[in-house]
Every structure is written in C-alpha cells, then in structure tokens.
Structure 1
Amino acid sequence: MTKFSALFDRLRLELILLFLLSALVVWGLPITGSLWLDELISFWIIKDSPQNVFYRAFEFQGQSPLYFLILWWTAQFNSEEWFLRLPSLIVGAFSIAIFFQVARNWLSREAAILATLLLLGMDRVHVALFSARPYSFALFSALAATFFLVRWIERRSVGSLVLYAVCMVMTYFFHYLFILIYCVHLLYVVLRRTTGADLRIVDFIIASCFIGIGLIPGLFQLVQLFGNKDVIDLSLALTSDSVTDAWFRTSTLIPAGVAILVGWLVAGGKVKSPQLQVVLFLTFWACMPPLLFYLLSRTIALSIFVDRYYLWYVPGFALLLGLSLDLLERKAARQLGLLIAWLLLVVVELGHFWHQEDWREAIRISRENVTPDTLVLAYPGLIESQDPRWLSDAGKSDYLLAPFSYYPLESRKILLPLNAEASNLKKYFQEFVLPQVKLHQKLVLLSLNLRTRDPLVPDRIIFAPEYYRRLLKNEGFASRSLGNFGLVSVYLLERIVE
C-alpha cells in the first residue's frame, strides 16, 4: 500500500480522476439538445429589448433580471441552444473549482477530491451546469460567499468580508431563495466563535447589515410572489418521503459507501474521530435546506419544495460524505477508497440517460402536419395555465406559449388548462375552446405529459394528452399519435366521418 500511495502522489492521480470525470459529465450533457420548458421561458424573457427583460423577469418570473440580462447579452452573439447554455457551463466549472478550495478547509486532499467527485456526479448539479437558467450562477455565488467567509475567519481579512457581502447580495439577485445559505454561514461563525476563534463579531454584524440593505429591492418581488401563491403552486403530494429522497440518493450514496467500506477494510478497521464542530456544521448544511423548504411548503401554502430551489444544500451533502472518508487514518486507504468511488461514479455516469422535453422535435413534427388554418391545441405545462385569467389574456397567454417563441409554429394556437373540468376552468373550455374546436376538421394536440386526476375515476391519475384525447373523442375526433418526444406528446386529431 505504501508503493500505491507513493505512485498516487507522484502522478497526482486524484486530479486526473477529477478531470476525467468532469470531461465525462460534460460529454454526456445534452448541451445541443432541445431547450426544456423553463429554458424556453428564459428565451421568451430575453427575446426582445433589455427593457422587456426587466418587465418580464419581474412580472412573469418574479425574479431579479440579473441572470436574464447576462443571457440577453449572450444571445446577441448566438442564440443556438448550446450557446445559451454556455454561460451556465462556464460558471459551473468555476463552481467545481471553488468548491474544492472550500472543501480543503475541513477535509484532507483525498476527501476533498471525493466530495468534489460526488458533487459533480449529482443529477441536480448536472441540470444546473447546462441549463439556461440562473441556478448555476446562484450556486457559484453561494460557494464564493462561503469561500470568502472562511477566508475572513482564517485570515481576519476585511477585504474577504467585503467580498463575502458582495457575493451574498449577488446570490440573492441570481435567485432569491439561495440567500438562505446565510443560515449555514451564521451557524459556522457561531461555532468558530464558541471554539475560540479570534473573530470580530461586530465586523460580521456590519457585513450582515450591508447584505440586508442590498436585499431590499428584491423584497417587493417576494411580497408579490407570496400574493400570487394561489397561482404559483408547484405542489405535488408532499410526504415525509419527499424529504428523505433529497438525502438518500443511491447514485451518490453507493459510490461513497463502497469507497469508505473498502478503505476501512484496507485500514484494518482503524478510524479516527472527526471534529465535532465540523460534523455539526456539515450536517446542518446537508439536512436543513430540504427540511426547511418542506416545512415552509406545509405551513405557508406556497409550494417551494422543488429540488432546484434548495440546490445549495448539495455542497454540504457532498462535504459530509467526503468527511466520512477522512475517518480513515491511513492515507493509502483514503486514496484507494477515492479510486473505487471514481470507478463507480464513472459507471453511473456511463449509464446516465437524459429523459428530457424535446420541444424542438415535437414542434418540428407538428409543423409537418399542419397548415396555416390548422388549429393547434397546446398544453405546454406551465402552472399559470390553471388560472383562466392567464389563459384568456393576450399578454399572459404569450408567456404560456413560450415554447413557440423559440421553435415557431405558424398556425393558430389555443391554450389548454391541465383539467378542463375543474370548476374555475370549465367555463373557459366550454365557451372558448370548444366553439373553436367545432369549426375544424383537423386538430393537432401538443402537450407536456403532466399528470392530472381523472374526473371519471377520482382515485386514478392520467396524463394530460390521454385526458384530452378522451375529451375530444366525445366531440367526434379520432386521434393518432405522431410521436412521444421525451416528456412531450403530439397527436393528430381528425373528425370522424359518419
């Protein structure tokens, strides 16, 4: 094992492993694939002038325009799918690098590399890395803030504290909910203070005040979002399993667990005790965010229990697993465990299948089967389509038809709600949709495969396309599938001739 450890060090094998997995992850990302629904909304926001970017980001997304202005500038050079995603990918690479630097504050080199590999191998991070959405930028800002906070504590550098405050404000304006990582930072400052670190708490309080002042402009958006909570409802059936699913990810736990087990066996069962304050801090970072968002979704009637909203817990989760490798005393055992984990993560990555929304192909197929006077019934799947006011308002319906702003379809389109028989939507469907349907002999149904409760069998769940095929069959239309494109389905409906 001594020779193995020497070879490992001489080749800097841990960095090679990190580079190879990074290359494999990037190679496997569908960067050139179709934009998915939220990315199509991003394009709709930035497709016109910067003034429209401000208005649409505030009015339709309830978010700061900071990321969308970056995306608008990017689109001035090239608006292809891969180019719109490129800023997130570049920033994601910086996130991985800064995460490793953060990890080295608490972990050995081998454990820090393991934590970085685990972070890189998580599905949630994959999505953030290549999506034309603000999550990669928000995660980077949150990690940069953590880096500068730790640097201030270790070096008592005022400049680092200033940069910490700046990064926290940027985190907030990239995504409002990521600011909650401040709770993690506050706990770390308290733990370091109670264990004798020489900190000027008054400096941290001043920095926190400046952060608070910087957040004020975004508070109006948060108030507006809460006011629209009846429309903005992302809720599925929340159970305790919803929380545990965030922690027990087999694609991450199995490589980490096997690595630690193999290292433990090689080390002859010898382990060392970790620092209690580090264990408490990382456990809080890993466990608090999903639990907090779950409880908020249960208590304030605004469903924010969506994994990308608490993505900032993932670094803590990876660090906690990395800390487990540091329980092994022998360096060679840690290095062997790291190699085993890398091999398993490569296997997982090679078997990764991206089941995404292929709007590009779905709309292309639709285009081949319509004429300018063909009616297209569209259910893109946005949650606001549950409100009839959004469906019937010209400005708001343009937002709901965001997929067609990037992938055009020259035909008249009518928006469908998720459930046309819901009490608040029945009038819209019967008085607006059905009269238009009855004027046509041929229709195209283009729908996201979201689930809804079957009105005929209350305990049964059906997908939106199936629901509308059955509903339109009662209106005299036979349907034929034109294909399923990931999570998007297209059907051709023709009136049955008696």
Structure 2
Amino acid sequence: MQLVSISQKSSESSSERVLGVLLLIAVATMWLRHLCSSFWLDETLSLWVASGSFSQAIERSLNFQGQSPLYFVLLHWWINLVGSSEWLVRVPSVLCLVASLSLFYRLALFFGDRRFGLSSALLFVASQSAVFAATNARPYALATLFAIASFVLWIEAQRCECWNRPLFIGSLVAAVAAFYTHYMYWPLVLFHLVLPKERGLVKRRLWFVLAYILAILPAVPFLLELKERSALLGLGGTPSWIELVLSLLQPGILLLVFLSLALHDGVLRRGLRTEKRPIPLKECALLFILPTVALFCLSYLLQTQTLFKEHYLFWRLPFLLLIFSFLLRKRSVLATYLLVFFLFAAEPYRATPNENWRALVGSLSSEVDVNGSSAPKVLLYSGLLESQNVELLETSEPYREYLSAPLRAYGYEGDVVPLPLNPLDQSAEPYLKDIARNISTPDSRVTVAGSNGILVAGVKANQFVEMALRQVGLFKLKEETFEGSWLQEYGAGRTLGENERDP
C-alpha cells in the first residue's frame, strides 16, 4: 500500500514537472519571440507620449490617448532609465504578465491542487490576450496585474474569520489602480460581489463597492466625455454580433484545452484529477459572460465599435480558464468532441499587429544618405481615428506631431504631413488640393507612407490613398511594402502602369 502511494506521488510529481517545463517553453516561445520586432502603430503612440517630459507624459496621455497617465508615467521613467529600443520598451509588459501569471496560479490553487494550477497557468500563457498584452508596450499588462492581485487579496481576506483589513485595503487599492491604469477595467468590481460564495459577506462587499466608487469619482467627468468622443472612437459603427459570439466562445482557448487534454491522456497517460475542492463554476461563468455582454451592450448603445476589444476584457479571462481546467478534469466525451471541432474550425491565435515602421524609416533614411539631401517631406497615412478631423490637421501642431508618431519613433527628422482618415471624403479634398499645388511640375515628387491597419469600404489604405491622390492630379510612380506598412512615391506625371512600369 505504501509502495502504491509512493508510486502515485512520483507520477504526480513527474506530471507537475512536465507541466512546469511546458509553461516555461510557452512563455519563451509566445511572450518573448516578438520583443525585438518593429513597433506597431499604437506602440509608437505610447513611445511618443512617454518620450517627453514628466508633465508632457501626463498631458499627452490625457489629451491624446484619452487614458490615465499611470502607465505612461511609469514608461517615461523606464525609458529614461534604460533606453527606448523595442525590446526594452516592452520589458515592463512582460514583467507585469509574469507577475500576473504567478498570481493567477495562486488564484487557481484556491480551487485545486498544483497540477490544476499549472494546467490553468499554461492556458493563461498561451491565450491570445496574454500574448498580446505581454508583447505590446501598452497598459493592458499592468492593468491585468492589478486586477488579478485584487482578486487574490480579496479571497485571502475572506478566508480569515475576522475582517483582515490590510488585505481588504490591498485588494481595494489594486482594483482602483487597475481602473486608473485603464478605465475599461472598471467592471472587475463584479468579482468582489460574486466570489467567494460564502454567505455573511454582504457588509464587506458593500463597504468595498462604496470605497471603490468613491475612489474612482474623480474620473467620472472624463468617462462622461466618452459619449462626446463616441463618433470619433467608433466612426459611427457598432460591434457585430459575430464579435460577441467569438469573444464568448474563445475558439483559440478551446483549441488549447484540446491540446492539454491530448497531453494528459496521450503523454502522461492519465487525466487531470485535482483534489476535491469547491470550484465555483456558475460564478466563474457569470464573471466571464456578464462583463462581455455588458461591454458589448454599452458599445452598441454608444455606437463605439472600438470600445469592444478583447484586450479590454483580458481581466475576466482567468475565470474561463478555471472552467476549462475543470473540464479537463471531467474528460467528458461531448467536451472532447467540441474541442476537436474547434481544432479544425478556428485559428489558435489571432494575428499579432505587424507593421514594420522600422524598415520603412530605414528605407527613407537610406535614400537620404544616397542622395546626400535633407530628409524629404512625407505624407503620412496613420489610420488613427483622430486624423478624421481635417481642421485639426491644418491648425494644431501638437496633433500633427501626435499623428506623426510612427515615423518619429524611429528618429525621422523630416517634415511629416498627416493625411485624413478618409481621404476620399469630400471634406478632405481641399486639404489634398493644397498638397498637390506644391507638386505641380512633372519633375516634382512626394513620398507617402502609411499603414494597412484599417480598411475603408473593404479597400486597403494604400489603395484608397492612391485613389484620393489621383483625384487631385497626383499619380503613383512606385511603391515599396514593409509587411503591414508601405511607401509610395507620387508625381504630377503618368501613373505606374501607363506605357512604362517601374522595374
């Protein structure tokens, strides 16, 4: 009997080591491999906001990013300390996600044993939201760290028979910090109303919610401005029902569950059986579904499509992962069938943002070195929502610099003229005609740079920019692409493809 017990413990220890190794491999391959890639559009904005003085970082984050300055102030100090290369700027996000991972493992241990925690952590590492947050110089990783810290401290506080005030205050401070890192994390207070399930916590929950509301009151005027910014943020669009369904189903995570199931049954020759602890499946499902539906409804009512984004809901993902880990423990035939179906029906990960502004600016700089001339004026199509206001493009120098961030992030020193979000719109025509007047001779040239991160009526940016400039008498002479970004050269002469073609 003792030998059987020793053998069982040895097997369990072996499976835990396998899961631990897989966890490290997943972090290395999914979180670290993109650290040295070129910044994409939103990351260049983070760098621009944080690259000024301390006061500028605060002002820019509020006026241009429409977000709390907490992350950008921290990034400002970090850049001044270590530098602004791609991997260094992203290191804080990786560190925050590593800390979030350890806290999520601790959260899973409240409901299962070490293997349950490791399996849940493995799903966390490989989720698309975690990959996105860890590899981007954006506030989501820091906000997620505060959110999960608040969850863990809250449960720890309720496990004490008496009211543990330090843990209670710590949970409250972490929840407020998550909100002030990114205002879209405000629904996380639902966790404190739902878990743990024990009765007799009504008074504590009410005190927590009241203190939370008082702490975020200073931000209410800013939140009310969202309605005024709704047309800008969403371009009058609304999130689709398909987006809601995909957000709830999480097909990529389902695939990972299947792979984990195959690992346990095929490699370890045993299912994931945890100690019998109460796993609050209904509460976890509620905490995953309710915020998703609530944010969808809010975005739909405000007609702000850009508010319904997966990375704004990252904080609720751990509750789905706990459910999936529990499903692995059950190993039902129906669940296996559904997971196999999603293996063939869905991509495991959405494509990460990929815009090679580094190569684009390098190409511009190489032309300057070859010709021995000063840096040319560049027309920049960023696709940023703020660029739809043509009046600001003409009159506001700070906005022009903000919209020039993709080129400034890589040290481009020439003049940058931002193009309107929709250059085919009638309101943009006078602005484009003013540009065309400076290119009136056949020998005149102008360089246009841009990103294909946005579609207008299903058409890529480089195509509808060409259509818009053609309408004001400018014709494309050549084009060079850099993954998601591109460079074009225009003149007042013939277009590429009319009797002659650039080699």
Alpha-carbon distance in structure 2 between the residues aligned to 1:476 and 1:263? 62
2:466 equivalent in structure 1: 469
1:492 equivalent in structure 2: 489
1:70 equivalent in structure 2: 74
2:320 equivalent in structure 1: 317
Aligned-pair CA distance for 1:86: 1.2
Aligned-pair CA distance for 1:110: 2.2
Aligned-pair CA distance for 1:404: 2.4
Structure 2, unaligned runs of 5 or more? none
Alpha-carbon distance in structure 2 between the residues aligned to 1:175 and 1:355? 20
CA contact (8 A) 1:372 1:410 kept: no
Q: Describe the shift of the 1:161–1:476 C-alpha distance in structure 2 as closer, same or farther (beyond 3 A).
A: closer
1:333 equivalent in structure 2: none
SS of corresponding position for 1:308: helix
2:167 equivalent in structure 1: 160
Residue 40 in structure 1 maps to residue 44 in structure 2: yes
1:233 equivalent in structure 2: 234
What is the 5 A alignment of 1:318-357? 318-327=321-330, 356-357=354-355
Q: Describe the shift of the 1:62–1:470 C-alpha distance in structure 2 as closer, same or farther (beyond 3 A).
A: closer
Q: For this pair of structures, how many residues does the alignment match?
A: 468
Q: Describe the shift of the 1:447–1:12 C-alpha distance in structure 2 as closer, same or farther (beyond 3 A).
A: same
SS of corresponding position for 1:238: coil
SS of corresponding position for 1:443: strand
Alpha-carbon distance in structure 2 between the residues aligned to 1:354 and 1:116? 21
Q: 2:437 aligns with which of 435, 438, 447?
A: 435
Alpha-carbon distance in structure 2 between the residues aligned to 1:321 and 1:293? 23
CA contact (8 A) 1:67 1:134 kept: yes
Q: 1:178 aligns with which of 182, 185, 188?
A: 185
Provide TM-score, normalisation by structure 2: 0.84
Q: Which moved more, 1:386-395 or 1:201-210?
A: 201-210
2:362 equivalent in structure 1: 364
1:291 equivalent in structure 2: 293
Equivalent residue letter for 2:363: I
Task: Provide the identity percentage.
Answer: 21
CA contact (8 A) 2:423 2:464 kept: no
Provide Cα deviations, 1:226-255, integer angstroms capped at 9, x if missing partner: 322222226766322111222334432123
CA contact (8 A) 1:273 1:327 kept: no
Q: Which moved more, 1:369-378 or 1:279-288?
A: 369-378
Alpha-carbon distance in structure 2 between the residues aligned to 1:444 and 1:176? 38
SS of corresponding position for 1:64: coil
SS of corresponding position for 2:195: helix
Q: 1:113 aligns with which of 118, 125, 137?
A: 118
2:249 equivalent in structure 1: 248
What is the 5 A alignment of 1:71-470? 71-77=75-81, 78-156=83-161, 157-189=164-196, 191-193=197-199, 198-199=200-201, 201-233=202-234, 238-260=239-261, 278-303=280-305, 304-327=307-330, 356-369=354-367, 371-372=373-374, 374-392=376-394, 393-430=396-433, 432-438=434-440, 441-453=444-456, 461-470=458-467
Q: Describe the shift of the 1:402–1:68 C-alpha distance in structure 2 as closer, same or farther (beyond 3 A).
A: same
Q: Describe the shift of the 1:233–1:10 C-alpha distance in structure 2 as closer, same or farther (beyond 3 A).
A: closer
CA contact (8 A) 1:375 1:413 kept: yes
Higher relative contact order (CA 8 A, sep 6+): 1
Q: Describe the shift of the 1:399–1:82 C-alpha distance in structure 2 as closer, same or farther (beyond 3 A).
A: same
Q: Describe the shift of the 1:328–1:373 C-alpha distance in structure 2 as closer, same or farther (beyond 3 A).
A: closer
Alpha-carbon distance in structure 2 between the residues aligned to 1:438 and 1:285? 61
Q: Which moved more, 1:217-226 or 1:266-275?
A: 266-275
Alpha-carbon distance in structure 2 between the residues aligned to 1:268 and 1:152? 35
Aligned-pair CA distance for 1:383: 0.7
Q: Describe the shift of the 1:21–1:269 C-alpha distance in structure 2 as closer, same or farther (beyond 3 A).
A: closer
CA contact (8 A) 1:375 1:443 kept: yes
Equivalent residue letter for 1:161: F
Provide TM-score, normalisation by structure 1: 0.84
Aligned-pair CA distance for 1:415: 1.3
